[in-house]
Structure 1
Amino acid sequence: MQKKYFTLFVGILFCLLLMGTAAAQPLLLRDRQVMVVLGNSITEGGELPEGYVSLMRKALEVLYPEMTVYIINAGISGHKSTDMYDRFDEDVLRWQPNWVTISVGVNDVWHGFYDNHPKGDGPRGVPLSVYREKVTAMVQRAQRHNARVALFTATVIKETLTGVENQKLVLYNQAIRDIAKKFKCVLVDQDAACRRVLAPLQRSDMADRGVLTSDGVHMLPAGNWLMAKTCLMALGVEESRLDAAKPLIENLVIKDQQALQKSLERYCVQNHELSFASDPGKRIVFYGSSSVDGWPLHKDFPRSPLLNRGIGGETTRQLWLRFRQDVLQLHPTGVIIFLGSANDFWPEHRMCPGHTLANLSRMVRMARSKNIKVAVGAIMPVNDYLPGEDVLASHPIERVQQLNRQIKEFCAGQQIPFIDFYSSVADESGKLRRDYSDDGMHCNRKGYDAWKPLVEDVLTLWEIR
């Protein structure tokens, strides 16, 4: 009996922690708002299941299940303030965000120490005056587009706080604080948060990594949690609620990690076998979700070196997370990306069209950086012709058509082929033709036959025959 009441008490206490103190500090986020998180490799890697960006999404889902905030990742490894400024319109303002977080400074300082410059004055760094100018300009551009800005101070460069890198970083972080104050931005003081953890641990023989970071810069799970928590607290989430919710958030991380591991294992053996090929030839990776997974490419294109790397049910985020293993490391001549009917649309994924386009853009950028040709397919239509099936509620025709216009525009801007998988199987109402599908969501043999010439056109363009 005592155990029963103790369990009940713990449950009630947990609910009170999740609910009780929200009024003490107002939440700055609102339902259906779009937040773009701009940064470098720490932010790009923050998309991993245990990364700080992913943790922020999971925390908001646990603490505010009635609300959806769309967090779009715009991190690119190695980028500095100058790089982020140059791509600000394309990677940030394009998504019409309500919020922009800017995490910049580590590479501006750290890269100045490259190539034997012990004072940090090397040409690969960014001078403080230029850094201040670029960050200020990004803040002003965001605000002119009615976006609120949250500025991150930079996290540490090595965990030994007296090191020359961190000493130089002090002035850059002070610049962030000054800009935040001047332009009334939300200050997310990641530097102060890191120092509160690391300062008590300082000693003469201390390692430069291992507490918050894996290499002195990139985050371990403890560092990712600290970054996510610091940002969310600055945006009005109570610390006590975050701490109480941490076990639930960690459970979501574990599920996310398990799903990613399962996806990575799907083609692991085949990929390994391909690595022994003396002449890889002109491989083409056909990449996507169930519509790719279910396509018998070896039968439809027997003379073409098409590698099927489709996995049913995956969102564009999941596709991006395995893109390096299942595309880049195969060293193909080209990749065809086809999202099928777009799993991003399902409500449980809490994704907006900006997510889809941003993740597509990221995969295209990664492929082209390796000189891999890219073609992107349109989202296919669905239908509600089967009794009891209402997929149009989550995949409305207008939304699919609008996203396809955006994908087509993106492809034109990138000068890459756009494959119209939509029009070739749609009926006059814009739905998937009744005779082309057995379930309203996927094509049957007739549907694949209608798509086959479209793929052949791209293979001919790429001289893959």
Structure 2
Amino acid sequence: MRSARLALLLLSALLTGCTSPGPTGQAAAAPADVTAALDPVSSPQWATDMARFAAQDADQPPPAHPVVFTGSSSVRMWATLAADFPRQPVLNRGFGGSQLRDAIWYADQVAVRYQPRRIVLYAGDNDIDAGRTPEQVRDDFRAFVARIRRDLPEVPIAYLSIKPSPARIDQLPAQQRANSLVKVEAAQMEDVDFIDVATPMLDAEGRPRAELFGDDNLHMNARGYELWRGIVAPYLR
């Protein structure tokens, strides 16, 4: 564990300064060594989401030290989040379509600024769909943890595994490899959990359970989120 922590601290040093927000809500430029290791944001549209989060905070201050859920649309569309975890002050900061590296660039806006008690991340689904490799997902996960640890060294982090879906059934092997790589990585880190939401979403033949998804066969319906609630709840106690 000591060697893993040392490696994490070294990576954290490389990431220093990479997510300071600019005056327009854009992710600020990072030092050259960081940009060499971390790809740019996947889309400029995330600046709009960051402005929306800031407006929501101004209109209704978020709870103190919340459990922050962030990542892509599977978090953004979790409309019952507060009701599903009534004993926890939860805050939804998902931005649909985002990739794992976007959560790194915008870590200040979606997590750090709230001084959370815990961070739950769902990302990697869109990364694989965009052609990124499982190894890139693993590396970006490692960088996300290092970025959070820079400012929040004691805050637990949980990573929700990439979910299988009927719409992306052809990507299932790559998703499963990414999940395996991240699981191994997380096991070497302190206060980092890998939460397997993917395996219970498969049927006896190893295919995504269609009854958990909406009409687009990509995003979950109420039954899907009910399944996730039961899996995630023990990690929030």
Give the TM-score of the pair, scaled to structure 2.
0.77
CA RMSD of aligned residues (A): 3.1
Change (3 A) 1:362 1:51: closer
Equivalence for 2:160: 377
Using the TM superposition, give the Cα deviation of residue 381 of structure 1 relative to its aligned residue in structure 2, in angstroms.
0.5
Report the Cα distance in structure 2 between the residues aligned to 1:432 and 1:304, rounded to whole angstroms.
30
Report the Cα distance in structure 2 between the residues aligned to 1:298 and 1:292, rounded to whole angstroms.
12
Indicate the percent of aligned positions where both proteins have the same amino acid.
25
Q: Is the CA contact (8 Å cut-off) linking 1:285 and 1:306 kept in structure 2?
A: yes
Equivalence for 2:231: 454
Equivalence for 1:402: 177
Matched, 1:427 2:183: no
Equivalence for 1:335: 119
Report the Cα distance in structure 2 between the residues aligned to 1:288 and 1:324, rounded to whole angstroms.
13
Counterpart selection for 2:134 from 336, 353, 371? 353
Counterpart selection for 1:307 from 79, 91, 94? 91
Equivalence for 1:270: 56
Using the TM superposition, give the Cα deviation of residue 323 of structure 1 relative to its aligned residue in structure 2, in angstroms.
1.2
Using the TM superposition, give the Cα deviation of residue 297 of structure 1 relative to its aligned residue in structure 2, in angstroms.
0.5
Change (3 A) 1:274 1:383: same
Report the Cα distance in structure 1 between the residues aligned to 2:103 and 2:185, rounded to whole angstroms.
18
Report the Cα distance in structure 2 between the residues aligned to 1:398 and 1:44, rounded to whole angstroms.
32
Equivalence for 2:38: 73
Using the TM superposition, give the Cα deviation of residue 352 of structure 1 relative to its aligned residue in structure 2, in angstroms.
2.3
Equivalence for 1:445: 222
Equivalence for 2:188: 413
Equivalence for 2:5: none
Matched, 1:367 2:153: no
Gaps of 5+ in 2: 1-12, 20-26
Change (3 A) 1:352 1:52: farther
Aligned counterparts, 1:65-214, within 5 A = 72-73=37-38
Report the Cα distance in structure 1 between the residues aligned to 2:219 and 2:50, rounded to whole angstroms.
24
Amino acid paired to 2:162 = I
Q: Is the CA contact (8 Å cut-off) linking 2:18 and 2:28 kept in structure 1?
A: no
Equivalence for 2:76: 293
Alpha-carbon displacement from aligned partner over 1:200-239 (angstroms, at most 9, x marks no partner): xxxxxxxxxxxxxxxxxxxxxxxxxxxxxxxxxxxxxxxx
Change (3 A) 1:52 1:327: closer
Change (3 A) 1:72 1:441: farther
Q: Is the CA contact (8 Å cut-off) linking 2:71 and 2:121 kept in structure 1?
A: yes
Amino acid paired to 1:336 = V
Report the Cα distance in structure 1 between the residues aligned to 2:57 and 2:160, rounded to whole angstroms.
24
Residue 267 of structure 1 aligns to a residue whose secondary structure is helix
Report the Cα distance in structure 1 between the residues aligned to 2:53 and 2:137, rounded to whole angstroms.
23
Q: Is the CA contact (8 Å cut-off) linking 1:437 and 1:443 kept in structure 2?
A: yes
Report the Cα distance in structure 2 between the residues aligned to 1:383 and 1:276, rounded to whole angstroms.
35
Higher relative contact order (Cα pairs below 8 Å, separated by 6+ residues): 2
Report the Cα distance in structure 2 between the residues aligned to 1:42 and 1:420, rounded to whole angstroms.
30
Report the Cα distance in structure 2 between the residues aligned to 1:262 and 1:407, rounded to whole angstroms.
29
Q: Is the CA contact (8 Å cut-off) linking 1:49 and 1:256 kept in structure 2?
A: no
Q: Is the CA contact (8 Å cut-off) linking 1:327 and 1:335 kept in structure 2?
A: yes
Amino acid paired to 1:405 = S
Q: Is the CA contact (8 Å cut-off) linking 1:336 and 1:376 kept in structure 2?
A: yes
Q: Is the CA contact (8 Å cut-off) linking 2:46 and 2:95 kept in structure 1?
A: no
Q: Is the CA contact (8 Å cut-off) linking 2:74 and 2:220 kept in structure 1?
A: yes
Amino acid paired to 2:183 = K
Q: Is the CA contact (8 Å cut-off) linking 1:44 and 1:73 kept in structure 2?
A: no
Using the TM superposition, give the Cα deviation of residue 315 of structure 1 relative to its aligned residue in structure 2, in angstroms.
0.9
